[in-house]
Structure 1
Amino acid sequence: MIPARIVVAPDSFGGWKTASEIAERIATPLRAAGLRVVTRPISDGGEGLLDVLQSASLLDRVEHRQAYGPHGEPRGGLIGWRQAVPIIESSTWLRTLARPHAPWSASSAGLGHVVASLLDTPGTIGLGGSSTVDMGLGFLRAVGARLLDRRGRPIDGTARSLWSLHRIEVSPGLLHNWTVWSDVSTPIERGAVAYSPQKGVAPDHLAYLASGWAHVVNVWERWRASHALPRHTIGHLGGGAAGGLGYTLMQLGAHLKLGAPTLTALLLPDLCADDLVITGEGCLDATTGESKVVAAVALACERRQAALVLVVGSVGSGAPDFGDILVCADAARANATASSSRDTAFMHTIQVLVERLSGSTRDQSPQAAREGRRSQ
C-alpha cells in the first residue's frame, strides 16, 4: 500500500553527508516517483544542529561569532537565534579539525568564550561532537571561574590539569537559565572510557583519565557542600557528553536534556498513523539505542503508530531491530561495480526502496527484513 505521506527524517551519515543532504538524496527519487514527501532531517544535539533547525525554518536568524578552537586557534562560527534565545552548536568550537588529535592539550575554552558573551540572556547549547576530554575546565576559565591548585595557584584549562585541581571558585547558578541538548546519554562515570578513545586517548591511558574525572567530581562535591547545595547525582544521563562538559554545565545550573528525543519531538510534531517515516544513520549498532536519532524516531513512530523504514550505511554488532525494512548502502555498494562511488551505491539502494514503496516490487515483510539484515 502506498503511504499517504512519507516523512524523511534521517540523522547525518557521520563524516560523509549531513542530515539535510541525506534527506534530500532520499526524497528526490521518491518525489520523482510521484510520492508525497516531506523532509525533516534531525540532529541529536551535536554536529549538524543548526543545519537541521534551519532546514525546518525554526531559526529567526543566524550570526557569526569569533572565538577559538580546542587548541587556541582562532575560529569563527555561527550561532542561531530562535525567539530571542541563542542556540549554540558546541562542536563548532570543540572539534579538532587537524589530525592526529591531541586530547590532553585540547580545551573547551573556545565554547566558553562564546557563552560568556551571552550570559545576560537564556540560551541553549547543543552538546556533542567534541575533541576535548578536559571535563569543562577550559570552559570554566572562559566564563570567569577560578581554578586553583592546593597552593592557590591558577591551573590551565586542559586535561593535563585534572589532577592538579583543588578548588573551584564560581557563583552557583551561573547557567540557571540555560538548556543543554546532549548528544549522548552516557553519565559522567562512564564517559571517559566510552568516548575518549575516538578522541585520541590511548587505551592504556583510559583508567588514568577516568581517575582524573573522578577527582574533579570530588572537587565539585566539595564546592557544592561549601555553597550548601545537595550532593549531585553522578549517574545523570548526558553528564559524560563532550568530554565531561555535560557534567560541569549541570553544576553551573544548566538544565540538561537528551538531544535526540527533544529534537525529534520538536521537528516531528505532526506525525500520525498514516505516515511512513524513513530515518537512518551511518552505522546501526549497539550504540543506536543510547538516545540516538534512530532510536528516538522509532519511539515516536511507535507512539503515533506510524510505519518506519531504516536506511543505514552499515550494520554493526548488537544493532537493534527497529524497522520493517532495512536497506544497507554498504551491501548495495558490494553488489555494484568496483568503480561505483559511495554516492552511486547509496542512490542505488534508495532506488530499490522507491520501487518497493511505489508498488513496483512486492512489499517486504518485517520477518524478511530481519532475515535480510542477518544475511548482510
Structure 2
Amino acid sequence: MSRVVIAPDSFKGTANAADAAAAVARGWRSVRADDEVITRPMADGGEGTLDAFEVAVPGARRMPATVRGPVSEPVATHWLLLPDGTGVVELAATSGITLLDPLAPLDAHSAGFGEAIADALDAGVERLLLALGGSASTDGGAGALAALGARFLDGDQGRVPLGNRGLGSLARVDLAGLRPLPPGGVLILGDVTNPLLGEQGAAAVFGPQKGADAATVVVLETNLARFARLVPDISPQTPGAGAAGGTGFGLLAWGAAMGGGAALVADALGLDDDLAGAAVVITGEGRFDGQSEAGKAPSEVARLAAARGVPVALVAGAITAEPRGFAASVALTGLAGGAEPAMADPLRWLEAAGARLAGEIGVVATS
C-alpha cells in the first residue's frame, strides 16, 4: 500500500477543487484500491481560496454579506473569519467573472470586493488576507478603493463612474479618506506576478479573457496608465500589480503587502506534512499554460514535492505549455476528445485521468 496525495486547484467554471480532488481519487482507487489516498483541495488566491481555508482551519466561520456584483447587481456572498481574528476575503466570490454574463470588459468593477473588505473591517478583524484572481473587471482596483473611502474625480471634481471606462475621465485620485489597515496589516494572496501595464500587464494578458477585443484592450491599457500616473508612489511594474485586473495595484496603494497565495494556502493545509512519506502527489488546474509556473497552485505543489523527493503528476483541462518537472501529465481535452466534451462532464474525465495515472505511475508508487 502506498500513500497518494491529491491536491488540485479548481477547474474554473467547471469543477471546484474539492470535487476535482474527489473525482481523481475515485479514478485512482478504481485501479489501486489498497492505496492510502489523501485529498487536499488547493487554491492560489483565485476562485476556491475561501473553501480551501474553510477546510484547513478548524473553527473558521462564514460571515454572510451582500455586495454590489461586477456591474452593481446585488450578490449574496461571504467572507471567512478565522479563530485568530484573521479575515479572508475572496475577490472571485464578490467581483468575479463567473458572476457576470454577458461579460462587460469596460464597465465591470471591483466595488463589491471593497464592500466585503469593509464588512470585515467593521467586524473588527485583526488582519486581512485578500485572495485575488478570477476577476471580471480591469479597473485597477479603483472600485474596491472607492468602497473603502477613496475618491476618484474628473476635471469638474465629480466622481467618475465605476469600471475601467470611468478611469478614462479621471483627473484626480484622493486616497486621504481610505480606511486604515487592520492592526495586523493586509496581505494579498496573488495568483500571478504580472505588472499592471505593458505586454504582460492586466489589459494585454487578461483583458481578452474578460471579453475585450484588440481595440478594447488598448482602451483598457490607456485608462489603467492614466490611473497609475495619478498614484505616483506605487510602481505599475511591481510584480503582482496586474493581478485581478489590476486590483493588486489598488491594494498596494492602500498599503497592502504582496504575498504568494498558493504557498499560504499550502501552509494552512499542512500540505508539506502530508507529503512526508508519500509515494506520489497529483495536482492540477483548469488550464496549464505559461502563467502556471508564476505562483499558481500546481507549481507550489510541485515545489513542495520536489523538496520531499516525491514524484508529482499533473491533471489539467488543457495543457498548452511544457509541463516541466512532472513525472506524468494528463489533459482532459485529450481524454474526452476535445474541450467541449471535457467541460460538459469534467468530473467524469477527472476520474478517468485518475485511473490513467494510477496505471501509468502506479509502479512508481510501489517502488
TM over 0.5: yes
Partner Cα separation in structure 2 for residue 342 and residue 151 of structure 1: 52
Partner Cα separation in structure 2 for residue 149 and residue 42 of structure 1: 42
Equivalent residues in 2 for 1:1-376, closer than 5 Å: 3=2, 5-31=3-29, 33-58=33-58, 60-82=60-82, 83-96=84-97, 97-119=99-121, 120-121=124-125, 122-171=127-176, 174-175=180-181, 177-189=185-197, 190-221=201-232, 231-267=233-269, 268-272=271-275, 274-275=277-278, 276-316=280-320, 318-334=321-337, 342-356=346-360, 358-359=362-363
Q: Structure 2: where are the runs of 5+ without partners?
A: none
Shift of 1:87: 0.8
Identity rate of aligned residues, in percent? 30
Tell me which residue corresponds to 1:370. none
Shift of 1:220: 0.5
Classify the secondary structure of the residue corresponding to 1:278: strand
Classify the secondary structure of the residue corresponding to 1:346: helix
Partner Cα separation in structure 2 for residue 47 and residue 215 of structure 1: 29
Shift of 1:309: 1.4
Question: What per-residue deviation string (whole Å, max 9, x for no partner) do you get for residues 293-337 of structure 1?
Answer: 111111111122222111222221x333121122233322239xx
What residue identity is the alignment partner of 2:73? E
With 348-357 and 30-39 compared, the bigger mean Cα shift is at 348-357
Classify the secondary structure of the residue corresponding to 1:286: coil
Classify the secondary structure of the residue corresponding to 1:139: helix
What residue identity is the alignment partner of 2:207? S
Partner Cα separation in structure 2 for residue 307 and residue 271 of structure 1: 14
With 172-181 and 63-72 compared, the bigger mean Cα shift is at 172-181
Partner Cα separation in structure 2 for residue 88 and residue 191 of structure 1: 21
With 165-174 and 43-52 compared, the bigger mean Cα shift is at 165-174
Measured at CA, do residues 131 and 341 of structure 1 come closer, stay the same or move farther in structure 2, by a change above 3 Å? closer
Shift of 1:205: 2.1
What residue identity is the alignment partner of 1:113? E
Classify the secondary structure of the residue corresponding to 2:187: strand
Partner Cα separation in structure 1 for residue 151 and residue 288 of structure 2: 42
Does the CA contact (< 8 Å) of 2:164 and 2:224 recur in 1? no
Measured at CA, do residues 301 and 321 of structure 1 come closer, stay the same or move farther in structure 2, by a change above 3 Å? same
What residue identity is the alignment partner of 1:95? G
Please provide the CA RMSD for this pair. 2.6
Measured at CA, do residues 59 and 13 of structure 1 come closer, stay the same or move farther in structure 2, by a change above 3 Å? farther
Tell me how many residue pairs correspond in the alignment: 349
Partner Cα separation in structure 1 for residue 325 and residue 246 of structure 2: 30
Partner Cα separation in structure 1 for residue 134 and residue 27 of structure 2: 31
Classify the secondary structure of the residue corresponding to 1:314: strand
Partner Cα separation in structure 1 for residue 315 and residue 72 of structure 2: 39
Partner Cα separation in structure 2 for residue 343 and residue 272 of structure 1: 25
Classify the secondary structure of the residue corresponding to 2:252: helix
Does the CA contact (< 8 Å) of 1:20 and 1:55 recur in 2? no
User: Looking at both structures, which has the greater relative contact order when contacts are Cα pairs under 8 Å and sequence separation is at least 6?
Assistant: 2
What residue identity is the alignment partner of 1:17? A
Partner Cα separation in structure 1 for residue 143 and residue 331 of structure 2: 41
What residue identity is the alignment partner of 1:114? A
Q: Structure 1: where are the runs of 5+ without partners?
A: 222-230, 366-376
Measured at CA, do residues 273 and 113 of structure 1 come closer, stay the same or move farther in structure 2, by a change above 3 Å? closer
Structure (1 or 2) with the larger CA radius of gyration: 1
Shift of 1:130: 0.8
Shift of 1:289: 1.3
Partner Cα separation in structure 2 for residue 114 and residue 133 of structure 1: 18
